[in-house]
Structure 1
Amino acid sequence: MTEKLIYGIQQIGIGVENADAAFKWYAQTLGADALIFDDSNEATYMAKYMGGKARKKRALLALNMQGGGGYEIWQYKERKPAKPKNEFKIGDLGIHFPVIKSRNITATFERLKASNENILSEIVLDPDDKKSFYLKDPFDNILKVKEFSNFYADQKNDVGGIFSAVIGVSNIDESLKLYADTLGYETVIYDKTDVFEDLSSLKNGNKKFRRILLSHSEKRSGGFAKLFGESQIELIQAIENEPDKIFENRFWGDLGYIHLCFDVKNIKQLAKECSDIKVPFQVISGESFDMGDANGHWGYIEDFDGTLIEFIETNKVPLIKKIGLNINLKNRNPKKPLPNWMIKAMNLKRIKF
């Protein structure tokens, strides 16, 4: 196979101080209660982003089985993670927040409000005329909840997983070489420069920005594409102020959103295409790398502003460890989706509190 495939947004990495507390909150509050892996070992390949040496860590992948990307909850084992030097403001360079799909935005808002969650805004109208609102998790990370109709399953939860990410960039036109041309988010839903009412509740939200919301015209197919579903990327560029770099002078794994990860096939071809636009892979694993009981081939690039983007070519997903039951993707037709029964079997990974 010579072409690369982008199956969808697999997860956003979140650096935290307490992985157990973070998993419990995301499971109970946002329905991401399927624990796909729980990996405690030494991170070696990413040493260049961790002060030049390997570090012991714990990483948990949590998915909402109604569909969408998940959360890789990441904790240093022997190091206190650093906070951002500056308070986050809209337009800064890096991952602003994930966008979580809601099938009923009013019901989601009222549920979270009744639970005394830290809601940052009322329900607002985005430039694409979709309703959304902002909240903060207990670990000081901003999340955006937005109405979206594409769900894999209905488990009577008002929210699914992640279907988009908002990323601050210094030059949208340059960034499109990666996000639109190489990763296939070539459909422009809107491209506007203005002061936006929907950002007004966030720091710096009263300034002028250029925002472009991207989607993909080609339906993703194969592997877990049905579970991850349709996805979008929003790029935002500050016009009136000089942005800070969110992870400046900090390590990968420090507090906040540490990377955006795509589920892919044929990393070798993807590496060539990224190199062609001068965003070469900075890190790449062996072709069969164990992540707890899961296995895959993965690598990282930096976008034009240094934001870490991860790509994972999944080989194996564990279902029942005791009997060695796994989902094996390595030798499957990469364009053939996994059968529904196999994806639904991942509900065996759900944790009850």
Structure 2
Amino acid sequence: MNKATINGIQQVGIGVKDANEAWKWYRRIFKMDVPIFQDSAEAALMTRYTAGKVEKRHAILAMNMQGGGGFEIWQFTSRTPTGPQKAIAWGDLGILAVKIRCKDIQETYAFMQSEGVELLGTPTKNPIGVSHFYLKDPYGNIFEIEENQSWFSKNSDLTGGVSGVVIGVTDVEKSIPLYKSHYQHSEILFQDTKVWDDFAPLVGDEESFSRVILRSPGERTGAFGKLLCQTTVELVAVKDSKRAKIYEGRLWGDLGFIHVCFDVCGMKNLRTNLQNSGFPFTVDSNNGFDMGKAAGHFAYIEDPDGTLVEMVETHKIPIMEKWGWYLDLKKRKQGKTLPNFIVKMLSLNRVKA
């Protein structure tokens, strides 16, 4: 297999009606307050998933500097985005929840209560003994808050960035190789099938689910690997009934979790590896994209159930845009992490809640 490295979950795309309004809420509740870019343009390369039409959009990539992946908050500006035709059921096919790291589960839960967040149940433990709870944002998206030991830096904020995703699949055995090998969440922490007590706030009746928790290596790679931290991918499959595709009949960019994006070094090698395993790139910027002041190479594949997975190899990123300071990552050795002080400079762009 040709060498490529996955440096972490860079971001999760979230389709919303009003990006600025949503970002304000995510800043207040999750401290996603450092913008990497804010850009308005046409999504010309995504017509495969926008019914053959070039749609205009506004996007904000925001990070939490304590560590973890970010949110790519996405708003169509040329059309009104649509939601699912019926309420999403736990176990439907697609991204079911985004995991957010926290330091203390009880303190974080109390904060969410005080802020009037819609909480789903109370803190409990998952099958590997991690304390967690679920909540819904104002737009109906489910987030899983979990205690976590992987951080880039620490301040007084209760939460960090994205620590993983929960993905609904039809068959965990068919999905494990993609996320375990190609996306390098190589450690299987847990695998079993049963009725799960901690899923009780998410399902109406007792129902059996297959459940797999995969974790990335502890060693960080790539320019921003230390910031992205260690992450997990949790695969969930319904045992006794079929589930619908979350984005069936809708467009990429419509309301909800539209993709999970992995940070990559060695995109061309990754393309070959995925192609040889039956996962061809369905969208490929061919070594060039420009999101305002950030640039690089992005691509998409579909997982075995059609869930969109994005990959980004970043070439240029603004550290201090107002001073004209941009970092050219193409000149760096593949896989080498940036010094912490340079990464921390991004916090100078912080936007208060």
- Same fold per superposition (TM over 0.5): yes
Runs of 4+ in 1 over 6 A off after TM superposition: none
Q: Which residue of 2 aligns with 1:143?
A: 143
Q: Which residue of 2 aligns with 1:294?
A: 294
Amino acid in structure 2 at the alignment position of 1:158: L
Q: CA deviation at 1:320?
A: 2.4
The whole-number CA distance in structure 2 between the counterparts of 1:70 and 1:205 is 33
- Using the size of structure 1 for normalisation, the TM-score is 0.97
Count the aligned residue pairs. Answer: 352
Q: Which residue of 1 aligns with 2:315?
A: 315
Mapping for residues 105-144 of structure 1, pairs under 5 Å: 105-144=105-144
Amino acid in structure 2 at the alignment position of 1:125: K
Q: Which residue of 1 aligns with 2:210?
A: 210
Mapping for residues 246-285 of structure 1, pairs under 5 Å: 246-285=246-285
Give the conservation status (yes or no) of the 8 Å contact 1:6–1:263. yes
The whole-number CA distance in structure 2 between the counterparts of 1:346 and 1:317 is 10
Q: 1:324 to 1:286 in 2, by over 3 A?
A: farther
The whole-number CA distance in structure 2 between the counterparts of 1:271 and 1:73 is 26
Amino acid in structure 2 at the alignment position of 1:198: D
Amino acid in structure 1 at the alignment position of 2:229: G
> Secondary structure, in 3 states, of the residue corresponding to 1:223?
coil
2:22 is the alignment partner of 1:22: yes
Q: CA deviation at 1:217?
A: 3.8
Q: Which residue of 2 aligns with 1:73?
A: 73
Amino acid in structure 2 at the alignment position of 1:95: I
Q: CA deviation at 1:218?
A: 6.0
The whole-number CA distance in structure 2 between the counterparts of 1:32 and 1:237 is 30
Give the conservation status (yes or no) of the 8 Å contact 1:133–1:146. yes
Give the conservation status (yes or no) of the 8 Å contact 2:217–2:230. no
Identity of aligned residues (%): 39
2:26 is the alignment partner of 1:59: no
Q: Which residue of 1 aligns with 2:325?
A: 325
Amino acid in structure 1 at the alignment position of 2:192: K
Give unpaired runs (5+ residues) of structure 2: none
Deviation track 1:94-113 (CA, whole Å, cap 9, x = no partner) reads 00011000111111000010
Q: Which residue of 2 aligns with 1:40?
A: 40
Give the conservation status (yes or no) of the 8 Å contact 2:265–2:335. no
- Using the size of structure 2 for normalisation, the TM-score is 0.97
Q: CA deviation at 1:352?
A: 1.6
Deviation track 1:287-320 (CA, whole Å, cap 9, x = no partner) reads 1311111111000000010000000000111122
Give the conservation status (yes or no) of the 8 Å contact 2:218–2:230. no
Q: 1:32 to 1:86 in 2, by over 3 A?
A: same
